[in-house]
Chain A
């Protein structure tokens, strides 16, 4: 047994599709397919029947024809095939020993093998062409159109769902393996849109079914874009390498004969395996090595602007002091009513009062604003109502 992993993988792919289709039948027949060899057994049995001509075969003749496989295995598969009708008695009577094979299971087997190799894309293309034919047929009825549209909707929903689930849950390697779902999608979508157009033009009443087909197509296109996005993101900036996962290259190198490997490397020049020290890694290494030292570096200082600009607080303080001195005008104290009247209207007076209050509250300025109980009321003044008070210098 020198089966490589790649072979096993191909077999697993065949088996996966086969199992999906026949799981129900096989379970009922009491024989699940658990080994890809069983597929070959089935094929061998059916091949033997094809060779046998119109006389049919008995079980013994079939096992003899398939002697490459174990006897009991052939008998078991023969039973299974008989139970689900792939092999029937030549004439339906109790003691009939000769059997004949139906052609449909063999066609199915070929179809499955092809699908597992090509991922069903070619079949889907053919299906779409057939659907386009059938809906443009002059004899087609509205029901045909509806059935056709619904079939396509289901196909694309399943396709889109599968891809979307792959994108969101699987690893990149898995996604790459199943990327065949994404190949050639534009042609698929185009073909489906063609069917959709024909249906909608012939039977405008089917617009609801057509809407769901359009939605399914859009969902599929989105899923394809997501998947392509994830693959491209992972493939690196310059090399997609045909989207082959690195594991495939590794498997190839491990499983190939020296001659095959040498053939690949023929005409390629490369360096012997050696550790690489790029200048960037050297700089990083020196930087990290330097950090363990005890000598501490001075923190960076600004080189320009040696004179620090005055802080905003200091500027504010000086502005307040200037305003207070302007109001006091050299006197030790001043009446608030006088200040308000001098300001003229209330808008200006309000601003002056705000500044005096700020000067009073500022803990670095020696001014205070003391309010008293009286109130001046003068309808002719700019500010008719003014509370009496005094703004004055204090000494600390």
Chain B
């Protein structure tokens, strides 16, 4: 009995270690929803529930501020200010229900981002803006801050946002209030799914079978 439970514990530890190694090398991971829970990794279900993100959860006070305290350089990013601005704009566009948590948020469009960007700059849109925005979006997508679908021109908040604390979210709510309001999103891919159940609610049951 005890050997069984101890071998189970060992297996459990190995299982955790494997996932930890994956997360430590690749950042947040997208997995099947039936993957068992892993210690230390927060699960963030995607909006449609088809996949789950595993995000490492660090104890409070163990994040990037430690680097600053030790005088070590943070992980470098190109055009840090521009990128942070685009992330702020995406938060303003995608975090529509600000009374709840930022994850998963809704889908924002490139048109919204461009409009808010020009509004923040306080001038009409310039041709160079798009280059900057796309570059920032790609950088943020690569580091899982955003999920940027370049083909559709649509963006969602990335799984990293679930690490935001209540205090962080309060700061960001304030930030969103200072940014210009985004125009309503015109989605290219989203409309079809909600239309189908609305148009024929009764046959839906039949279709399910």
Identify the A interface with B (CB < 8 A). Answer: 236-239, 241, 246, 265-266, 269-286, 288-290, 292-295
Dominant secondary structure of chain B at its interface with chain A: helix
A282-B40 in contact (CB<8A): no
Q: Give CA–CA (A301, B123) in the complex, Å.
A: 25
A290 and chain B: residue at smallest CB distance: B120
A290-B121 in contact (CB<8A): yes
A286-B172 in contact (CB<8A): no
Q: How far is the CB of A169 from chain B (nearest CB, A)?
A: 20
Q: Give CA–CA (A282, B87) in the complex, Å.
A: 8
Of B4-12, B17-25, B197-205, the one touching chain A = B17-25
Q: Give CA–CA (A274, B80) in the complex, Å.
A: 12
Residues of chain A within 8 A of B83, CB atoms compared: 275, 277
Residues of chain A within 8 A of B164, CB atoms compared: 279
Query: Nearest 9 A-B pairs (CB), nearest first?
Result: A293-B122, A275-B77, A285-B84, A295-B122, A276-B64, A272-B27, A279-B171, A236-B69, A269-B40
A272-B24 in contact (CB<8A): yes
B140 and chain A: residue at smallest CB distance: A277
Q: How far is the CB of A191 from chain B (nearest CB, A)?
A: 36
A234 and chain B: residue at smallest CB distance: B71
B19 and chain A: residue at smallest CB distance: A269
B171-A285 in contact (CB<8A): no
Q: Give CA–CA (A109, B76) in the complex, Å.
A: 49
A293-B123 in contact (CB<8A): yes
Residues of chain B within 8 A of A276, CB atoms compared: 63-64, 74-75
Q: Give CA–CA (A239, B70) in the complex, Å.
A: 9
Q: Give CA–CA (A323, B76) in the complex, Å.
A: 75
Residues of chain A within 8 A of B189, CB atoms compared: none
Q: A285-B88, A289-B81 are in contact. Are A275 and B75 (CB under 8 A)?
A: yes
Identify the B interface with A (CB < 8 A). Answer: 17, 20, 23-27, 40-41, 56-58, 61, 63-66, 69-72, 74-77, 80-85, 87-88, 91, 120-123, 139, 143-145, 160, 164, 168, 171-172, 174-175, 178-179
Q: Give CA–CA (A286, B122) in the complex, Å.
A: 12
Q: Give CA–CA (A222, B40) in the complex, Å.
A: 47
Q: How far is the CB of A87 from chain B (nearest CB, A)?
A: 51
A265 and chain B: residue at smallest CB distance: B24
Apart from A237-B69, A277-B145: 8 A-B pairs, beta carbons within 8 A? A274-B144, A275-B75, A275-B77, A276-B63, A277-B87, A278-B64, A285-B80, A286-B175
Residues of chain B within 8 A of A269, CB atoms compared: 20, 23-24, 40-41, 56-58
Residues of chain A within 8 A of B72, CB atoms compared: 246
Residues of chain B within 8 A of A236, CB atoms compared: 69-70
Q: How far is the CB of B74 from chain A (nearest CB, A)?
A: 6
B120-A271 in contact (CB<8A): no
Q: Give CA–CA (A246, B67) in the complex, Å.
A: 10
A293-B121 in contact (CB<8A): yes
Among the listed A238, A274, A281, A293, which residue makes an inter-chain contact with B84, where contact means beta carbons less than 8 Å apart?
A281
Q: How far is the CB of A174 from chain B (nearest CB, A)?
A: 15
Residues of chain B within 8 A of A272, CB atoms compared: 23-27
Residues of chain A within 8 A of B64, CB atoms compared: 276, 278
Q: List 13 A-B contacts (CB under 8 A).
A: A269-B24, A269-B58, A270-B24, A273-B75, A275-B74, A276-B64, A277-B83, A281-B80, A283-B88, A283-B171, A285-B80, A289-B81, A290-B121
Among the listed A246, A282, A295, which residue makes an inter-chain contact with B172, where contact means beta carbons less than 8 Å apart?
A282
Q: A282-B87, A286-B179 are in contact. Are A275 and B143 (CB under 8 A)?
A: yes
Residues of chain A within 8 A of B143, CB atoms compared: 274-275
Q: A272-B27, A274-B27 are in contact. Are A282 and B70 (CB under 8 A)?
A: no
Residues of chain B within 8 A of A273, CB atoms compared: 75
Residues of chain A within 8 A of B71, CB atoms compared: 246
Q: Give CA–CA (A346, B27) in the complex, Å.
A: 91
Residues of chain B within 8 A of A237, CB atoms compared: 69
Among the listed A286, A293, A295, which residue makes an inter-chain contact with B88, where contact means beta carbons less than 8 Å apart?
A286
B67 and chain A: residue at smallest CB distance: A276
A280-B171 in contact (CB<8A): yes
Q: Give CA–CA (A279, B65) in the complex, Å.
A: 12
Residues of chain A within 8 A of B65, CB atoms compared: 278
B40-A238 in contact (CB<8A): no
B122 and chain A: residue at smallest CB distance: A293
Q: How far is the CB of B123 from chain A (nearest CB, A)?
A: 6
Q: Give CA–CA (A237, B81) in the complex, Å.
A: 27
Q: How far is the CB of B12 from chain A (nearest CB, A)?
A: 13
Q: Give CA–CA (A288, B80) in the complex, Å.
A: 12
Q: How far is the CB of B11 from chain A (nearest CB, A)?
A: 16
Q: Which of A246, A265, A282, A294 has the most CB of B within 10 A?
A: A282
Q: Give CA–CA (A292, B129) in the complex, Å.
A: 14
Q: How far is the CB of B1 from chain A (nearest CB, A)?
A: 26
Among the listed B27, B74, B120, which residue makes an inter-chain contact with A289, where contact means beta carbons less than 8 Å apart?
B120
Q: Give CA–CA (A273, B24) in the complex, Å.
A: 8
A275-B81 in contact (CB<8A): no
A289-B85 in contact (CB<8A): yes
Q: Give CA–CA (A285, B64) in the complex, Å.
A: 18
Q: How far is the CB of B30 from chain A (nearest CB, A)?
A: 14
B80-A275 in contact (CB<8A): yes
Q: How far is the CB of B109 from chain A (nearest CB, A)?
A: 20
B77 and chain A: residue at smallest CB distance: A275
Q: How far is the CB of A295 from chain B (nearest CB, A)?
A: 4
A269 and chain B: residue at smallest CB distance: B40
A282-B56 in contact (CB<8A): no
A292 and chain B: residue at smallest CB distance: B121
A295-B123 in contact (CB<8A): yes
